[in-house]
Structure 1
Amino acid sequence: MAEASFFADPDYPVPGHGKVWLATTQDGAALRFASWRPTRRPVRGTVVLVQGRAEFIERYSETIAELRRRGFHVLAFDWRGQGGSQRFVRRRRKGHVGRLKHYQADLALAMNEMRSRLPAPYFVLAHSMGAALCLDAARFGRLPVSRMVALAPMLGIAMIPHPGRAKVLAGLFYWLGLGRAFVPGGGDTAIATRPFEGNRLTADPARYARNSALSAAARELSIGDPTVAWVRTAFRLMARLAAPSAALEVKVPTLVIAAGRDPVVSTPAIERFAARLKTGPALVLPEARHEILMESDEIRARFWAAFDAFIPGEDQPLPDSAGQQREGGLMQRLAAGRDDPAAAGGAAAVP
């Protein structure tokens, strides 16, 4: 692989004073990492930004700048098979990963880079596939952070009309040796470069246009549709998290935020998981589509209110379980901009 770098284009600048490097997983995959210092004091610790499928570091420049202004160091990385990390197929635009253990190795490396390079306390802000992988890791003590915010975690795929049939077919095609093939009908076109009308990601036209242009310009960082092996891996991950005990096994205090108009992942599946989760609150942003961090200013303001209420600084001790429940009500009131307590027993809807 070439030496690690940011995408160089003055029209799409990344936040200044960032460091970028390559690091290698235990199974030999080279991943691209980047980090930034906070732009204000006091320093509140480190946030690890964990992206979803088909994303790359530069797409999160706005979020990175907002975290830095909150006093956080930021660590970001690209999963294998996308962004500036190593690809394992000749046709580089395929969204491919071989098996779940490969993503687990990537996340383990990210945790090692976090602890070896950046100051505690540590927090995770994760999206979609990345959020599901972090939730799974948190069940087994493999996510050494104080708190996690999981955005639209991939606990079910809404855009697949017959998931049971798709799961069986993905397994069959994989064992027939077609794991590296695009899913039927798939191709090189990145989802973020498709027309705004009818897109599944955001209702904000300006942010969509920005990300679409970036994905088109940074073609070497973008990928298209997933491979059969990726779909098989996704179903295996979702099956693990659908187990009745899975949510109860998450030991990291976690705020789950779902998008009410999400056509990519299943919001009902997220709500069922959140209802069993004992380590933190949950809420739904009714007007949001899948990419909450790329949504309108109003929706993003509600997200940041919830984030700021849940993620403490180094001078704010983490509460015990009872304290978490009280704090959950506070977080939901702040996010909603009102004083009435959120409904218990599941995700609260924020109007």
Structure 2
Amino acid sequence: MTDAAFFHHPDYPVPGHGKVWSAVTGDGASLRLASWHPTTRPVRGSVLIAQGRAEFIERYSETIVELRRRGFHVLAFDWRGQGGSQRLGKRPRRGHIDSLAQYEQDLALAVSQLQERLPAPHFALAHSMGAALCLDAARRDALPVERLVALAPMLGIAMIDHPGQARILSRFLNLFGFGGAFIPGGSDTAIGTKPFEGNRLTGDPVRYARNAALAAAARELAIGDPSIAWVRVAFQLMDRLATPRAPLDIRIPTLIIAAGQDPVVSTPAIERFAARLKTGPALVLPTARHEILMEDDTIRAQFWAAFDAFVPGEDPLAGLSAAGEESQGGAVEAFIGGGEDGAASGGAAAVP
């Protein structure tokens, strides 16, 4: 297949010279994947992008360009139930999944494609649901990458007021055959096409409008609200990662970056997890909302400074400090997750 298999929006084109193809998971689901070569040398390896719920490859075009300029090959994919991958259920715009094992199969396929097609060293850049799935895979020694950068991982859902009740209700409704239904009040409308004012995703109106136009135009790729079964699966994943041993079992060097103004996932839950993580630092960008890679240039510069330092194996706090001082004249207060005794008041590193 060629570039024609991408959705090209005139105001937000997909990077050129990309390859897009389909591959089948171990349990028979068809996923859409895409890859790009770097545009600069030296070649520094390959990055797997693991997106969040309701996203699709084309939304990451800006990030793909930036990774290629840094000398990386890139592999991106759509989880089943969204984007250009196989949809589940009778309503294709309902964000549905049947089991956590299905997402595990998707990630296993993407990793195998990364290893087969693109050169080492291999890294992973993951967001929200994708970040939680990558952390869980790392916990199980099922993520064979050199380093993992996890953005706003879904370790708790901030937009659910009573998570205990929601957990029980999702199990109950799924048990009685309502797993394929929308969550109460849910619809086919993609979250990224709703008004900018009051949105949970980003404070950058330009990038929000760009993504909204893309989601509105690419209706076959965008999805709406999740199903009850998706909520049940999300709680299963978060419960796994909430166990005391989960962060201790992760052996891959891992950088966790949270958003201080995140109304989608729980930043305190991320900080608690990071306090027990032995393999890397955790940082909080205080003014960022949920989609850090879709935020304004100042916030994104802070992210890239940390990424650029961490992926080669340096201290990301040093790069983040320089970025913070240059953009805002501030200092960096740091906390690096370093095991069970590493907890400190204030949580992860904060960039003012």
TM-score scaled to structure 1, two decimals? 0.93
Q: Is it true that 1:243 corresponds to 2:248 in the alignment? A: no
Task: Give 5+ residue unaligned stretches, structure 2.
Answer: 337-341
Q: In 2, are the aligned partners of 1:335 and 1:350 still within 8 Å (CA)?
A: no
1:1-351 aligned at under 5 Å gives the runs: 5-312=5-312, 327=315, 329-337=317-325, 342-344=334-336, 345=342, 346-351=347-352
Q: In 2, are the aligned partners of 1:38 and 1:70 still within 8 Å (CA)?
A: yes
Q: How many angstroms apart in 2 are the aligned matches of 1:199 and 1:242?
A: 28
Q: How many angstroms apart in 1 are the aligned matches of 2:322 and 2:57?
A: 29
Report the CA distance between 1:335 and its aligned residue: 4.7
Task: Give 5+ residue unaligned stretches, structure 1.
Answer: 313-317, 319-323
Secondary structure, counterpart of 2:258 in structure 1: strand
Report the CA distance between 1:9 and its aligned residue: 3.6
Secondary structure, counterpart of 1:143 in structure 2: coil
Q: In 1, are the aligned partners of 2:30 and 2:80 still within 8 Å (CA)?
A: yes
Identical-residue share of aligned pairs (%): 70
Secondary structure, counterpart of 2:5 in structure 1: coil
Q: In 2, are the aligned partners of 1:332 and 1:341 still within 8 Å (CA)?
A: no
Q: How many angstroms apart in 2 are the aligned matches of 1:23 and 1:263?
A: 35
Runs of 4+ in 1 over 4 A off after TM superposition: 338-341
Q: How many angstroms apart in 2 are the aligned matches of 1:296 and 1:9?
A: 21
Q: How many angstroms apart in 2 are the aligned matches of 1:80 and 1:209?
A: 26
Secondary structure, counterpart of 1:272 in structure 2: helix
Report the CA distance between 1:330 and its aligned residue: 2.9
Report the CA distance between 1:236 and its aligned residue: 0.3
Secondary structure, counterpart of 2:38 in structure 1: coil
Report the CA distance between 1:234 and its aligned residue: 0.1
Q: How many angstroms apart in 1 are the aligned matches of 2:335 and 2:220?
A: 46
Q: 1:102 to 1:340 in 2, by over 3 A?
A: closer
Secondary structure, counterpart of 2:177 in structure 1: helix
Q: 1:343 to 1:135 in 2, by over 3 A?
A: closer
Q: How many angstroms apart in 2 are the aligned matches of 1:340 and 1:126?
A: 24
Report the CA distance between 1:349 and its aligned residue: 0.5
Match of 2:339 in 1: none
Report the CA distance between 1:263 and its aligned residue: 0.1
Q: In 1, are the aligned partners of 2:44 and 2:71 still within 8 Å (CA)?
A: yes
Secondary structure, counterpart of 1:178 in structure 2: coil
Q: 1:8 to 1:106 in 2, by over 3 A?
A: same
Secondary structure, counterpart of 2:48 in structure 1: strand
Q: In 2, are the aligned partners of 1:332 and 1:342 still within 8 Å (CA)?
A: no
Q: How many angstroms apart in 2 are the aligned matches of 1:57 and 1:223?
A: 13
Q: 1:182 to 1:40 in 2, by over 3 A?
A: same
Q: How many angstroms apart in 2 are the aligned matches of 1:168 and 1:16?
A: 47
Secondary structure, counterpart of 2:197 in structure 1: coil
Cα RMSD after superposing both structures: 1.5
Q: 1:4 to 1:78 in 2, by over 3 A?
A: farther
Q: How many angstroms apart in 1 are the aligned matches of 2:286 and 2:245?
A: 27
Secondary structure, counterpart of 1:289 in structure 2: coil
Q: In 2, are the aligned partners of 1:4 and 1:84 still within 8 Å (CA)?
A: no
Count the aligned residue pairs: 337
Report the CA distance between 1:342 and its aligned residue: 2.0
Secondary structure, counterpart of 2:271 in structure 1: helix
Q: In 2, are the aligned partners of 1:4 and 1:22 still within 8 Å (CA)?
A: no
